[in-house]
Structure formats: structure tokens, C-alpha cells
Amino acid sequence: MRIATFNVQNLRLRHGGATDRLDGARDADVPEDSAAAAARLDPLDRRLTAAVLRDVNADVVALQEVFDRESLDHFHERFLLPTGTAPYPYRICLPGNDGRGNDVAVLSRIAPEAVESHAAVTPRELGIVVPPPLGENLPIFRRDCLELTVPRLTLFVCHLKAPYPDPTAAWPVRRAEAAAVRRLIERRFPKPEAVWWLVLGDLNEPWTRDVEEGRAIAPLLEDFAVDLAARMAERERWSYYDARAGRYSQPDALLASPALADAWPDARPYVVREGLGLEAGRYHGPHLPDVGGHRPHASDHAALVVDFPGL
């Protein structure tokens, strides 16, 4: 089984005008993304997003920043299938807590045995103590933790709190979310270390504050999960380029249960950067045709992929 995670940067279907259209991979936080000409690059972005997914060719793909199921279906039918890739008959995008509608989603060629959103779960329900601003009776996840079971494996798809606009304020939120993911897994499995599960998605780490005060996602790593990216050389791990700050980081993650990591000791992830803009100068490999300096691009994230042969 091949599994991937990919933050596709604001995939949203817009209605109106002559035809429906998808937003491009842009945040409007740099001039190139908000100028009048920016919208003309939107369909080029989404063709590149589709080309990355075609080349990754995963059996199951965890996506972040998908507006809704309608947007996902439109992208699948109008952009992904025309690349010639095999279809994904199982497409999941449930409403989360992001006010802009940037939810987590899944494309799968394997029939799920169970799907469960945890968007409504609160710290009180999980028995987690959180700082007062978070509220013990408010949803703990800023988007969701989407639980998906396929034969022999359970996935927990996440997109944890980003460091913007205030990294200091975001850190305890991300720590609480990480603790909540761990508690969900512990509640789901009496012996979490002995079964096969995988936490994957955009965990928005590491950042400078994590170096100073410890990683916000430490609850998931301390004697609990195995960071599969640690099997890669450190220089190979980066999967995100922040054009505004000129910064490289590795927010995208694959955290495996000890049993899963032990069963596939040679499962070493790899990063597919062919859709990043040319501005990410640390990458010297091939780019997809039509990739531009900043845009067009598939996303500001690369895809992170791992193979579990025989699963």
C-alpha cells in the first residue's frame, strides 16, 4: 500500500460566471497571489496539483485545505482523471472547524471500513486539561482529526494549528491538538503500541519556538509514535517553502505506531517536490512543465509519500 499526505493549498470550488472554477494554490499573502492577474493562474495551479497526485499514484492520499466534498469531486473529475491516473472512487471531506472551510480530506482506491470525524470532540470529553483561552467545552481541533480505517490499518488525518499570525499563541493550541490525537488513539486501541495506525497530515512543525520550548507535538512522539521521516537524511526532509519568509520547513508528517514501524523497518518516506515553484531554490530536481517562479505551482507544500509493501 502506498500512502501520501499533501496540503493542496486552498482547494475551493467557486460558482458563478460562465463556468464553475477552482481557486488556485494561493493564500493572498504575497503580492503575486493577490494582484489582478493572479486568478488567471488558478487553473494552471490545479493542473499541476493533479499532475503531482498522478505521479505519486498513492492508494490512499490524505489532503489538507480542501473546502468541501463538492470541491474535491470537481477536482477529481475535471483535473485529476484527465491526467490518466486511476480513479479514486472513495472521496471523503467532512465539515471541520476551520472558519474558511479548509478541511482535511481523503482520496482512496481502497474501500474504507469506517470513517469518523472528531471535529466536535472537546477537551472535557477527552479528559485533557487545556489553557483557559481554549475552553474545555469547545472543540479542541481547529480543523478535524479524521479517522479512517482501511483493511489492517487505521489512519488519523490531521491539520494542526498553524503558527500564523502569532507563533507564541499557536504553540499551546497545537500542543493540545497533539495531546487530543494521542488520547483518541489510546481510547480507540487498548494497546496502541501493538496495532497498526498512522497519524499523517500537516502538523505545522517544527518552528523556532519548538526549538526553545520543546516540540508542540511531543505528546505524539514521547514513547508513543515513530516519526518515519526520521529515517530520511535530515537535508531530505523539508516539504514546505514559505515564500513570504524565505523559509524551508517540514510540517508534513507520517507518525507510525511502533507495531507498524517494526513491521516495515525499511519503509522510508520520500518527498515529491516537482510541483513547487522555482523560488524554492533548495530543490534541484526536475519540475513539472509550466511550473513558474512563484506560480503556477501545485502548492506551497510538497507531497510526502511512503510505501508499505504487502499491506
What is the mean predicted confidence (pLDDT) over 193-210?
Answer: 87
Position 168 scores a pLDDT of: 86
Position 209 scores a pLDDT of: 57
Residue 234: give the domain boundaries. 2-307
Confidence of residue 245 (pLDDT cuts 50, 70, 90): confident
Confidence of residue 263 (pLDDT cuts 50, 70, 90): very high
> Which residues pair with residue 5 across a beta bridge?
62, 304
Position 34 scores a pLDDT of: 78
Confidence of residue 179 (pLDDT cuts 50, 70, 90): very high
Kindly give, in sequence order, each residue whose CB lies less than 8 Å from that of residue 226, ignoring residues fewer than 6 positions away. 255, 256, 257, 258, 260, 261
Q: What region, left, alpha or beta, does residue 28 occupy, with left being phi > 0 and alpha being psi -120 to 50 degrees?
A: left
Position 210 scores a pLDDT of: 59
pLDDT at 211 over 70: no
Q: With CA atoms as reference, report the closest residue to 61 among 258, 272, 210.
A: 272
Confidence of residue 285 (pLDDT cuts 50, 70, 90): very high
Find out whether 202 and 64 touch, Cβ atoms under 8 Å: yes
What's the mean pLDDT when you consider all of the chain?
A: 94
163 vs 10, residue with greater confidence:
10
Position 136 scores a pLDDT of: 96
- CB count within 10 Å of CB 310 equals 7
The predicted-structure confidence for 47-98, as pLDDT tens digits, reads as follows: 999 999 999 999 999 999 999 999 999 999 999 999 999 999 999 999 999 9
DSSP 8-state class, residue 136: T
CATH number of the domain encompassing residue 145 = 3.60.10.10
> Which residues pair with residue 150 across a beta bridge?
153
The predicted-structure confidence for 92-135, as pLDDT tens digits, reads as follows: 999 999 988 899 999 999 999 999 999 999 999 999 999 888 99
DSSP 8-state class, residue 301: B
Q: Hey, what's the cell of 108? A: 482512496
Find out whether 50 and 76 touch, Cβ atoms under 8 Å: no
pLDDT at 150 over 60: yes
Number of domains the chain is built from: 1
